[in-house]
Amino acid sequence: MGYKDVYESWKADPETFWMAQAEAIDWVKTPSKALFDKGDDLYEWFADGQVNTCWNAVDRHVEQGRGDQLAIIHDSPITGTVHKITYAELQTRVASLAGALRAKGIEKGDRVIIYMPMVPEALEAMLACARLGAIHSVVFGGFAANELAVRIDDATPKAIIAASCGLEPGRVVHYKPLLDGAIEIATHKPDFTVIFQREQEVAHLDEGRDFDWHGFQYGVEPAECVPVEGNHPAYILYTSGTTGQPKGVVRHTAGHLVALNWSMKNIYQVNPGETFWAASDVGWVVGHSYICYGPLIHGNTTIVFEGKPVGTPDAGTFWRVIEEHDVKSFFTAPTAFRAVKRDDPKGEFVAKYDISGLRAIYLAGERADPDTIEWAQKVTGKPIYDHWWQTETGWTIAGNPAGIEPMPVKIGSPTVAMPGYDVQILDEAGHPVAPNTLGAIAVKLPLPPGTLPTLWNAEARFRKSYLTTFPGYYETGDAGMMDEDGYLYIMARTDDVINVAGHRLSTGAMEEVLASHPDVAECAVIGVTDQLKGQLPMGFVCLTTGVNRPHDEIVRECVTLVREKIGPVAAFKLCAVVDRLPKTRSGKILRATMVKIADSEDFKLPATIDDPAILDEIRVALQGLGYAKG
Ligand code: COA
Ligand code: AMP
């Protein structure tokens, strides 16, 4: 069957389609049906089944004779080590960790926050939670204590599992002091923490609250897999919205298993036993779906890579890892390739390695610019497949179904909708538009298995964010168009979310931080184009009347404040003091116009602008920051 047949077979009978895919999963109790319509636009998948994610990701492979196959390869060019773990070893390690967590009171439904760098123990912690039916929430290491505290208060975890430190090139990230700081800031306090002590930095443990990863496993009974309902939350993953309060995306257990398992072959073209590599971080959705769960559920070997595309030690790192571990399918963000291209424009490093085993390269996380795709195609000689999805969906909305049938690549398009997604382009009134017409990208409900059923403890926000603008549809927050062949083009966000090096960030959250500076009366943060990272945040602050301190001093404080409150990942370094912000007569800040000026793009003067002269002041400020030069 080709892609069109598969897509049509899903559309004609989604129930049969998904029940057939569910057969690839080991159920404790087989679900009676796929879709559970709860009414009022809420849906669940395989809700009355009983299943365990860890069993499907680990134990069943051992039972089926894959015990000696590698499950995880930890490749860390930062520490210069490679560590391999078989499925049998993984089973022992996860069962022991889960047993120790259980002995400290962790049960099905309890939340556990995981704050760890790219070490295999991060995956083991996730799997140990899954083994017990505990709901994990992994927090990215590049966030500051304050962001961690916000997540602690929202998820109210019974335990936090962390490492003593993370390793960025040339810098040790002190996780434990960040964790201590977060627990102090948070209103909710966990019962205990578990600290994985890395040899690069051993952390101080608070007696009675902090337990050593190895020590607390001593003498405990290993835990068996606890069956959970199909609609039991597997995890919560926080992502940026329009405000400083992140959205807690909930993932239900059964749909997650079914959808990820389907995607490994049909999208990523790997067979069980082969090595798959997603060069992302466990703190992001790509890390959840394609470093941890997808490859393991499907019986692949996954790579946990602790390094950067360049500088660890050079722009050949990706190709070295692909050769050394015989990677068949590789997933990264366009920004990573832009970094490699900058250091190795001719692809000389590629020629030093044998990457003949690699079938294809997959890009996601941000718009894949044609230059980058063409460069990657040229230097690797491999198909480069852009695909589009979000934290909310957990897997591809539109991609190249290469494992079913490779579709011709149209550069600039992530290709076509995957089975399960009825993607439509809508005008402001919610009517489908003609091909090649720009509109809001929406997905007709229900969303497929594996996507978010709701937000953690925030159903009203879930409805408001995704379901109310276009009744009967899920609003993706992206704008774009579809051509007459069904190829999608993703053009921009319709909200204030920006994408910096493939990291999704909220300008609203940064504005909240800037507004908290005592000298700042008003502010705006916009996302401007950056050659390497796609976008960079840029802040404009207006000072409180009477403040006459040097502007560069205030700018420095603003930059430090965002780094302290949100974290280094915000990459907030561009900021200027201005007298006034451009606004409409009703007082709305004209952020989109500011972006256009920064990027030297043509724009129409908004008819509702209050005082056009302010735009000249903004242009001068932008030029001072190296923008608006065109
Ligand atoms: N823990 C702590 N700090 C982190 C971190 C982590 N896990 N990840 C990133 N940071 C820090 C970086 O050290 C950097 O700090 P600095 O301001 O002190 O230099 C800052 O956050 C910004 O990080 P990032 O935007 O990732 O840039 P970078 O300089 O580390 O690397 C490239 C940038 C150019 C190498 C980039 O191309 C890249 O590959 N980024 C990662 C892409 C990615 O995997 N995205 C995930 C979506 S799939
Ligand atoms: P995240 O939730 O962090 O994965 O970010 C999701 C957002 O990143 C999407 O809503 C898009 O705005 C953007 N994005 C992800 N993949 C792509 C892609 N292939 N092309 C264009 N934008 C993308």
- Rounded average pLDDT over 379-404: 98
286 falls in which pLDDT band (50, 70, 90)? very high
Model confidence pLDDT, tens digit, residues 61-79: 999 999 999 999 999 999 9
How many angstroms separate the CA atoms of 83 and 73, rounded?
Answer: 6
337 in Cβ contact with 309 (< 8 Å)? yes
162 in Cβ contact with 128 (< 8 Å)? no
Tell whether the model's pLDDT for residue 558 goes beyond 90: yes
Query: Domains of the chain: which residue ranges?
Result: 3-405, 497-624
Q: Mutate which of 569, 573, 574 to test ligand 1's pocket (most atoms within 8 Å of Cβ)?
A: 569
What pLDDT, on a 0 to 100 scale, did the predictor assign at position 235?
98
What pLDDT, on a 0 to 100 scale, did the predictor assign at position 610?
92
- Cβ atoms within 10 Å of 204's Cβ, excluding its own: 11
Q: Which residues line ligand 2 (CB under 6 A)?
A: 239, 285, 364-368, 386-388, 390-391, 414, 476-478, 490, 493, 499, 504
Residue 524 backbone phi and psi in degrees, to 5: -145, 140
Question: Are β-strands 301-305 and 327-332 bridged in parallel, bridged antiparallel, or unpaired?
Answer: unpaired
Pick the CATH number of 3-405 from 3.10.20.600, 3.40.50.12780, 3.40.640.10, 3.30.565.10: 3.40.50.12780
For residue 563, the ligand 1 atom closest to its alpha carbon is 17
Of all protein residues, the one whose alpha carbon is nearest to atom 21 of ligand 2 is 367
What pLDDT, on a 0 to 100 scale, did the predictor assign at position 98?
99
Output Rg (C-alpha) for the chain, integer angstroms: 24
Tell whether the model's pLDDT for residue 105 goes beyond 90: yes
Residue 514 backbone phi and psi in degrees, to 5: -60, -40
Indicate the average pLDDT of the chain: 97
Of all protein residues, the one whose alpha carbon is nearest to atom 10 of ligand 1 is 142
48 in Cβ contact with 229 (< 8 Å)? yes
Tell whether the model's pLDDT for residue 630 goes beyond 80: no
What pLDDT, on a 0 to 100 scale, did the predictor assign at position 281?
97
What pLDDT, on a 0 to 100 scale, did the predictor assign at position 242?
81
- Rounded average pLDDT over 582-609: 93
Model confidence pLDDT, tens digit, residues 475-525: 999 999 999 999 999 999 999 899 999 999 999 999 999 999 999 999 999
What pLDDT, on a 0 to 100 scale, did the predictor assign at position 243?
82
Of all protein residues, the one whose alpha carbon is nearest to atom 19 of ligand 2 is 388
Model confidence pLDDT, tens digit, residues 215-272: 999 999 999 999 999 999 999 999 998 888 999 999 999 999 999 999 999 999 999 9
Torsion of CA 258, 276, 492, 569, to 10 degrees: 110
What pLDDT, on a 0 to 100 scale, did the predictor assign at position 629?
87
Of all protein residues, the one whose alpha carbon is nearest to atom 1 of ligand 2 is 390
Ordered alpha helix ranges (H), 13-76: 14-22, 53-54, 60-61
Pick the CATH number of 497-624 from 1.10.10.60, 3.40.1360.10, 3.10.20.600, 3.30.300.30: 3.30.300.30
381 falls in which pLDDT band (50, 70, 90)? very high
Q: Which position has the token pair 């116009």?
A: 593
Exposure of 619 by Cβ count < 10 A (0-12 exposed, 13-18 middle, 19+ buried)?
middle
- Rounded average pLDDT over 600-622: 93
- Cβ atoms within 10 Å of 72's Cβ, excluding its own: 24
- Give me ligand 1 centre to Cα 34, in Å: 39
Reading the block at residue 57, the tokens are 């990701």
Model confidence pLDDT, tens digit, residues 570-583: 999 999 999 999 99
**CB distance 185 to ligand 1 below 6 Å:** no
Residue 224: its H or E element: none
How many angstroms separate the CA atoms of 21 and 523, rounded?
Answer: 50
Model confidence pLDDT, tens digit, residues 136-195: 999 999 999 999 999 999 999 999 999 999 999 999 999 999 999 999 999 999 999 999
Q: Mutate which of 335, 396, 504 to test ligand 1's pocket (most atoms within 8 Å of Cβ)?
A: 335
- Cβ atoms within 10 Å of 360's Cβ, excluding its own: 20
Distances in Å between the alpha carbon of 429 and those of 329, 433, 440, 470, 473? 41, 10, 10, 8, 13
